[in-house]
Amino acid sequence: GMVASMSPLPVIGVPVKSSNSIDGWDSVLSILQMPGGVPVATVALNGAKNAGILAAQIIGSSDKCVLDKIISYKEGLKQAVLKASEGLK
């Protein structure tokens, strides 16, 4: 939250579950309860991977090279799901 209050750039919050947290809810709520004018994009608990992908998608909105890599990555995810679902037919 402090970073978001001081930066004009997008900030992505990654709530983490720690040994002294209440299933990570304290971390989630601290990010979600930012005041108006201080937005923080929030991903799932321990969602660092999705935070990285979200950051790449933001960058990809103005960088075609990064956008192409995101498109390729998501196509790979799609193909993996289709392959895994073949046995369900």
Which residue, 6, 22, 16, is CA-closest to 47? 16
**Residue 23: what pLDDT?**
84
The predicted-structure confidence for 9-52, as pLDDT tens digits, reads as follows 999 999 999 888 788 888 999 999 999 999 999 999 999 999 99
Tell me the torsion sign for CA atoms 16, 18, 23, 25.
negative
Inter-residue contact 39 to 75 (CB < 8 Å): no
Domains of the chain plus CATH, in order, are 2-88 (3.40.50.1970)
Length of the chain: 89
Burial of 23 (0-12, 13-18, 19+ CB in 10 A): exposed
Q: Is the pTM of this model over 0.75?
A: yes
Gap between the Cα atoms of 37 and 70, Å rounded? 29
**Residue 85: what pLDDT?**
93
